[in-house]
C-alpha cells in the first residue's frame, strides 16, 4: 500500500515514525508493507515510487527544515504527478476556508484515492460534500484522529456501537482549555494559567482557537455529521469560550463541590460548546490535558472514553487505526 503524506509537521513526522516501527506488523498481517512513497511540507516535497525511508524523511526535516529538495507552489499539481494509494492529509487546519487540506482531499477523492485525515477544517466546512465524493468514487475516507487524537470515539460509535441508537455525546474535546481550567481550580488566574500552557507547549502563541472554543466547535461538527448524520458546519455551532470565566466563578463552583469545564454537547437537536458546571468526581470533571467524552446509547447506556487529545505519536496512532481498517478491506477483503 503506497502512502503519500501531505503535511510534515509534528503529526506527519510522528506517523512516519509509526510506519517505520510497524514494518513487521504489516508483513505478518498482509504479506506486504505499507510504504511511504513521499511527503510534502509547506514548501518542498520528496518522492520515491519505490518507497522512502520514513526515518530519513524525519531526520532531513529536523536537520534542514525541509522534507525534500524539490520546491513547489501548488500541492494539487504535485499530487497529479505522484503514484499513491492512500493520501494522509495532516496539513495545518484552516477553519475559514478549509485551506490546502480541502484542495488536497478533494483532488485525491476525485482521483479515486483513499484518504485519511486529522485536518478538522475540511471536515468542519465540507463534510457532506467530501463524504458524497468518496462514495461516488468508491473511496475509503476516514478521520478518527480529527476528534480527540488518540481517544477512540468516531470508530467506536460507527463500528463498535453499530446497530445502537446514540442519543447524545458530551465531552471535553480541547486539552488546552482543560489544562487552564484545572490550574484555575487551584487558584491560578486565567492569564497565568494560559501563560503556563503556552510555556509547556499546550497552547499556541495565538491561543484564540482553543480558548474561544473554536477548536472544540470544529470537533463537535465532525461528531454531529459523522455520528448523528446531520448536515451542519462550523457556523451552526453555538459557541462560548472560557475567556470570561473568573476566579470568583471557579471559587463559587468549588463551594458547591463542582468544577467548570468546557463541554461540547452534540445530539440530533443540540450543537453547542460552552462552559458547564460538572460535579467533582464525574467522568467529565477530569483535570489536565486529557480529552474525554460520554456517549449515551439506548442499549449500552453511558460509555465513557478518554485519551490524549494531541501529540505526535498519540495522533499518529489514530491514523494507524484508520490505515489498518482500510487495508483490512482492501487487502484482506
Strand order in the sheet with 301-308: 238-239, 271-279, 258-267, 166-172, 290-297, 301-308
Q: Tell me the HSE value of 273 on the side-chain side, using a 13 A CA sphere.
A: 28
288: region left, alpha or beta (phi > 0 left; psi from -120 to 50 alpha): left
From-to residues of CATH 3.40.50.720 in the chain: 2-150+312-332
The superfamily CATH assigns to domain 156-308 is Dihydrodipicolinate Reductase; domain 2 (3.30.360.10)
**Alpha-carbon gap, residue 39 to 15, rounded angstroms:** 11
Taking phi first (over 0 means left), then psi (-120 to 50 degrees means alpha), and beta for anything else, what does residue 142 get?
beta
**Mean of pLDDT values over 237-266:** 97
pLDDT interval class at 331 (50, 70, 90): confident
**Is 90 exceeded by the pLDDT of residue 63?**
yes
Distance CA 172, CA 310 (A): 13
CATH 3.30.360.10 location in the chain: 156-308
Enumerate the active-site residues: 219
Span 43-62, mean pLDDT?
A: 98
CB 152, CB 319: distance < 8 Å: no
Name the class of domain 2-150+312-332.
alpha beta
Provide mean pLDDT across the span 201-217: 93
Between CA 62 and CA 17 the distance in angstroms is 13
Residue 72 C-beta-side C-alpha neighbours within 13 Å: 21
- In three-state secondary structure terms, 47 is strand
- Spatial contact of 325 and 86, defined as CB atoms under 8 Å apart: no
Amino acid at each position: 500500500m503506497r502512502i503519500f503524506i501531505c503535511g510534515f509537521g509534528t503529526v506527519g513526522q510522528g506517523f512516519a515514525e509509526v510506519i517505520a516501527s510497524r514494518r513487521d506488523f504489516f508483513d505478518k498481517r498482509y504479506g506486504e508493507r505499507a510504504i511511504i512513497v513521499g511527503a510534502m511540507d509547506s514548501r518542498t516535497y520528496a518522492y520515491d515510487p519505490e518507497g522512502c525511508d520514513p526515518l530519513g524523511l524525519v531526520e532531513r526535516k529536523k536537520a534542514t527544515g525541509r522534507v525534500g529538495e524539490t520546491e513547489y507552489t501548488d500541492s494539487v499539481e504535485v499530487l497529479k504527478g505522484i503514484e499513491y494509494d492512500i493520501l494522509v492529509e495532516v496539513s495545518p487546519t484552516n477553519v475559514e476556508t478549509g485551506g490546502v487540506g480541502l484542495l488536497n482531499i478533494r483532488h485525491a477523492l476525485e482521483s479515486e484515492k483513499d484518504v485519511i485525515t486529522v485536518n478538522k477544517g475540511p471536515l468542519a466546512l465540507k463534510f457532506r460534500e467530501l463524504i458524497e465524493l468518496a462514495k461516488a468514487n468508491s473511496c475509503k475516507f476516514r478521520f478518527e484522529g480529527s476528534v480527540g487524537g488518540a481517544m477512540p470515539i468516531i470508530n467506536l460509535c460507527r463500528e463498535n456501537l453499530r446497530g445502537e441508537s446514540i442519543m447524545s455525546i458530551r465531552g471535553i474535546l480541547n486539552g488546552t482549555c482543560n489544562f487552564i481550567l484545572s490550574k484555575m481550580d487551584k487558584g491560578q488566574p486565567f492569564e497565568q494559567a494560559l501563560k503556563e500552557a503556552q510555556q509547556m507547549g499546550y497552547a499556541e502563541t495565538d491561543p484564540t482557537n482553543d480558548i474561544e472554543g473554536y477548536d472544540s466547535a470544529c470537533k463537535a461538527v465532525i461528531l454531529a455529521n459523522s455520528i448523528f448524520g446531520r448536515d451542519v458546519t462550523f457556523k451552526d455551532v453555538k459557541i462560548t469560550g472560557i475567556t470570561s470565566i473568573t476566579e470568583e466563578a471557579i471559587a463559587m463552583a468549588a463551594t458547591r463541590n463542582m468544577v467548570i469545564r468546557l463541554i461540547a454537547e452534540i445530539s440530533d437537536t443540540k450543537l453547542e460548546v460552552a462552559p458547564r458546571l460538572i460535579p467533582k468526581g464525574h467522568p467529565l470533571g477530569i483535570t489536565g490535558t486529557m480529552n474525554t467524552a460520554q456517549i449515551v446509547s439506548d442499549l449500552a447506556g453511558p460509555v465513557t472514553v478518554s485519551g490524549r487529545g494531541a501529540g505526535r505519536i498519540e495522533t499518529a496512532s489514530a491514523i494507524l487505526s484508520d490505515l489498518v481498517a482500510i487495508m483490512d478491506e482492501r487487502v484482506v477483503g
